[in-house]
Structure 1
């Protein structure tokens, strides 16, 4: 019998969409990064983040957004901003009762994207 993948352990698309909404709201209220979200379309960002997480954790959804390097090139995102994003993700995971193993796996995925996000 196959063990559930991270997508399944996170609760599937509906739960990941809820998580993406919480993450967006935290980013919007985080003084370190809120300026990056001033003109963002909340629903579109949540849709893309949901697709990205679902696809990257073993779900069947396709990701329709741009790759991370293209998305972040020229934004000059600092290390401090990157850490603020990770902090928001951790808080959202905690609020949604995500288990320690799943938090660690999702944070490892997020951390692995750093070279495609910071100072590119």
Structure 2
């Protein structure tokens, strides 16, 4: 029997996605490979709140939730950041760790991983 529950619902809806995003950001800020990109957000609480909300909206909208994403597309959002393949893989690892921490099932993790890989070319510019 095929699962007809949306990815948004399988991620726990908006509350679940908020918890996942908070865990992802926390992991990025302590990850030696990417923390220099994320720690400066702590110095500007307004910008941090804006980035956090964009991440939540992006994941909620992209997973089929009833949310409108008003942020930049991935190419524009990451332009000039010179993200390496290694940094990208580190970020994906953090995402998978956050999904584990939030008890997300294997199929849902695979679905998120598929989406992450489908976006790779819009973020990695080396």
Q: TM-score, normalised by structure 1?
A: 0.94
Match for residue 83 of structure 2 among 77, 88, 108: 77
Match for residue 54 of structure 2 among 23, 48, 54: 48
Q: Which runs of 5+ in 2 are unaligned?
A: 42-46
1:113 aligns with 2:119: yes
Q: 5 Å matches for 1:1-120?
A: 3-40=4-41, 41-119=47-125
CA-based RMSD of the aligned residues comes to: 1.3
Give CA-to-partner distance per residue, 1:41-85, whole Å, 9 cap, x none.
432222111100100010010112111000111110000000000
Q: Which runs of 5+ in 1 are unaligned?
A: none
Matched residue pairs, number?
119
CA distance in 2, matches of 1:118, 1:30: 18
Q: TM-score, normalised by structure 2?
A: 0.90
CA distance in 2, matches of 1:90, 1:38: 20
